[in-house]
Amino acid sequence: MKYIQLGNTNLKVSRVCMGCMGFGDPKNGMHTWTLPEAESMEIIKNGLDNGINFYDTAIGYQNGTSEQYLGKTINEYVSRDDVIVATKFLPRSEEEIRNNISGQQHIRNFVEKSLENLNLDYIDLYIYHMWDYNTPLYDILEGLNEVIEEGRVKYIGISNCFAWQLAKANALAESEGFAKFVSIQGHYNLIFREEEREMIPLCNADNIATTPYSALASGRLSRLPGNDSKRLKEDFYAKLKYQSTEVQDEEIIKRVNELAENYGVSMTEVSLAWLLTKVTSPIVGSTKIRHVEGAVGAVDLKLSLDDINYLEEPYVAHDLVGVMADNKVSASDNEKVWAKHTKNKI
């Protein structure tokens, strides 16, 4: 494994980050394809054994059980200081707004719950999961700064936002003496490259770490079309993101397979090797041991400039999808995305 500095921090992270959305009680959340505790812990431990020290989860993943499984594995198998833990908090709910729960208190409540789930004393990277249009930005930044000053959080990141929002937030943080966002977790892979328009140039200019999610397009960049998996069949949210562009994306996927055969490696390794030329540490979901092996192998695969151009050449512009499809959503819309299929409130 190779390691890299996470933007403007003193954290040194593995070149690939293990995404933990696939871990968590499959009967307690919006996904039915996630792994129960024993299987989740086995894969996390395999990642640790392979040198992956960077793990990304969220309080919204299977009602906090993803955090619980990750924390239990860390506490059982490794020293806390040897692992970089990232987790994410959701926007205020309509109920919180009605009850006048401030942005600052909302963050405090979520930090406390995540630390309880993880059974850890601090979070290395605490991520604003999606832009909250119903809460003043100042309140969010002040709340995050408070938990940093208290030692509960080391650094803060942001996910699912536009470049102008990240720039605005960090400008306000600088003017108020608050901590700045040090990383962005956006949607970026070989078949969805819209982050290259504004976000990637902003991050390169300000040394903001890039840790994109959906690095393999929910498995689409790791297998040829027609080769199904449990997640491909049951992940309704991923279908919303990719189903409408299947035809135009297929040529890129075929080229990934062609290069994989030429190099004698997996499609996963080719897809991630391309992404590693662009970003700090892509988030790679793993629900099988071979997924971990593919992610680790990608770190040592060097694509030529001709390879990179060959993979990129068929790309056409894509419409924004998922959380980013609308540039302004209500609290209830956010809840629909993340809580529609959950049985319990966080």
309's enclosing H/E stretch is helix 305-312
Identify the active-site residue in 3, 55, 61, 133.
61
Provide the CB-side half-sphere exposure for 25 (13 A, CA): 13
CA distance 31 to 285: 14
Is there a contact between 231 and 210 (Cβ–Cβ < 8 Å)? no
In-domain check, residue 180:
yes
- The pLDDT value given to residue 321: 80
Domain annotation covers residue 66 = yes
Structure tokens at 336: 């629909």
How many CB atoms lie under 10 A from the CB of residue 96?
A: 18
pLDDT at 248 over 50: yes
Three-state secondary-structure class, residue 18: strand
Indicate the pairing of strand 181-185 with strand 153-159: parallel
| Local structure of 303: helix, strand or coil | coil
Q: Residue 205: inside a domain, yes or no?
A: yes
Residue 345 belongs to a domain: no
- Structure confidence at residue 168 as a pLDDT band (50, 70, 90): very high
pLDDT band at residue 28, thresholds of 50, 70 and 90? very high
Residue with more model confidence, 341 or 197: 197
Apex 105 CA angle, 102 and 110, nearest 5: 125
Indicate which CATH number applies to the domain containing 257.
3.20.20.100
| DSSP E strand boundaries for the chain | 3-5, 12-14, 17-19, 54-56, 84-89, 123-128, 153-159, 181-185, 209-210, 283-285
Residue-number span of the structural domain to which 70 is assigned: 3-339
Edge to edge, what strands does the sheet with 17-19 contain? 209-210, 181-185, 153-159, 123-128, 84-89, 54-56, 17-19, 283-285
Please report whether residue 344 resides in a domain.
no
pLDDT digits (tens, 9 = 90+) for 65-121: 999 999 999 999 999 999 999 999 999 999 999 999 999 999 999 999 999 999 999
Average pLDDT along the chain: 91
- Total count of domains within the chain: 1
DSSP letters spanning 240-274? HHHGGGHHHHHHHHHHHHHHHHHHTS-HHHHHHHH
On whether residue 31 sits in a domain, the answer given is yes
Is 188 marked active-site?
A: no
Asked whether residue 346 is assigned to any structural domain, the reply reads no
